Structure 1
Amino acid sequence: MATPMPADAFIAALKAEGLTVVEVGDWRHHNRNTKGPWGPVHGVMIHHTVTSGTARTVEICRAGHSELPGPLCHGVIAKSGVVYLVGYGRANHAGLGDPDVLSAIIDERQLPTDDQASVDGNRHFFGFECENLGDNVDPWPAEQLQAITRVAAAICRHYGWTERSVLRHLDWQPGKVDPRGPGMNWAQVQAAIAKRLGSKPAGTPAPRPQPLTVDLSKLIAAAKSDPGRAGTPVSYAGVRIWEAALVDEGLLAKTRLDGHFGLDTREATSRWQERLGYRGRQPGQPADGIPGLDSAKRLGAKHGFTIVA
């Protein structure tokens, strides 16, 4: 639970994270506060706009339309990575959502499936609309993805939150699909936010990201550490990288990407090994799901991380 920071602290936090920020009109006092409270705030919500053209997108998000008055967010993240501030306070961006998701965000734990719409999200979340057609074809440029990472990190850093306080509109409100499209890999976005929160605000320019590495011995230890105790996190970040790759392969459900090498992760690893031709020691047995050097290196090579043996 947190009180919304003052507008000056908000823009200062964004700039300290190395973002290029454009102030649109009297954004500090443009809000929907007369329609209900804003706060306590619990997280940051990311959307796509279903529009093209930065100027048009910014104006729509600032003014809204006849059925949904603006502001429709606090900031617009353009494809260029520039952040346009259009409002501050209550904004029409989140709508009604799932109380179980809100509880999970507050506790910073794995999100459940959103199947209810009864809690006022406009009250509880910072909202950022990202310029994208939302047709699952329009790509997400690297500059825009980096800006999403920095925006989320700036707010999380201020409140002492982790990347688990950042969510998508689709995580909150049943029927929503945003954000989506080529290049929008949410597991990688969350991993980038987590990585950035491990350092001080960088200012500009940002340092070149370091290659992702996974220590095989630590990964094996995690796989052997009582996989039946679901929900017990393992204190090795490489597990999350490994799980994200399994999710991308379609072998692990996104809801099981939790940093714990439990039974689901072990079974998904077994299916990856079998895909490569490995089997158990006895005829008819499945692969054991303990990462081996060859299967680990081949998964890493396909998904952008290096195995350190």
Structure 2
Amino acid sequence: MRIEYHRTLIADQVRNEAFFAALKAAIVPGKSIVADIGAGTGLLGLMASKLGAKDVFLFETAEVAGVAAAVLKANKAKRCHLIPCHSTEFQDKLSADIIVSETLGNYALEENIIATLADARRRFLKPGGTVIPHHIIQYVAPVVAPRIDDELRAWERVGHGLDLSVAQTMSLNNAYVRALHADEILDGCRSAKVWDEIDLTSETKSKRHGETEWRLPRPAKIYGFATWWKVELVPGIGFSTGPLSPRTHWEQLYFPLSAPINAAASDVVGIDLRSSSSEEAGTHLAWTAVHKNAGGKILSRQVHDLDKGYLP
């Protein structure tokens, strides 16, 4: 069990306070039954209990479930009931007013939140019940600073007449968790565009696809693309993992290019992003960048796929 990972969650005050506020807005003291899906060490379940939930059912697996049990005992949380299995494996009847799940990653969907919440919503949630979170927006923007690109091209600088280009190609077919500064992104993040929106209160696919493009007002050198997300937990309460937002334990994702794009004024640079996530196969990511001149002629197309790279 990676207790250090759970410590980073507990240390994230932006995350914690947003979920506390969302639970407070949703819970009717003495009446609401809450299901905490992927409870970790039990923080959100304990918050729900403190806010007056009638009962809280916490789903968690493996060794961390043992830690959650000890934490609940230490807090004398009598209305909290630990269920030591994945929520999709639970076959008994459960009727909840609120489903809450913090199963988000640096790439928002890497912990399979869509499929997990869909199952919990269908089987556990009362009609008219509340799903927390209920909406995710994914953003993308071009990166115009060479810092991460330089890091990934170390293979080119090994010298001694050696060719390590095969390994470099693998490096450039990977997505990297990195903290980017606003000034490393085109127009200081003002260029960010939505490439995907997810409604977690209704049926939606775990396979995602989106594309967008930018017509550049001035020349720019594009080294890659950054993505991040914004989550709305309940209406009016949420947070973002973007470079301009208060820092969380999550960071942005950097998608490299095989070669930087030298774009002239009025050129168009676009990206096509595809992902799929499942418990069985993990998360797959692929991205294609296209550079067109002002007249629409394609000057280059770069196709990247995580299957051609390696996991960091």
Q: Please give the TM-score of this superposition, normalised by the length of structure 2.
A: 0.24
In terms of fraction of residues, the more helix-rich structure is 1
In terms of fraction of residues, the more strand-rich structure is 2
Q: Please give the TM-score of this superposition, normalised by the length of structure 1.
A: 0.25
Question: For the pair shown, which has the larger CA radius of gyration, 1 or 2?
Answer: 2
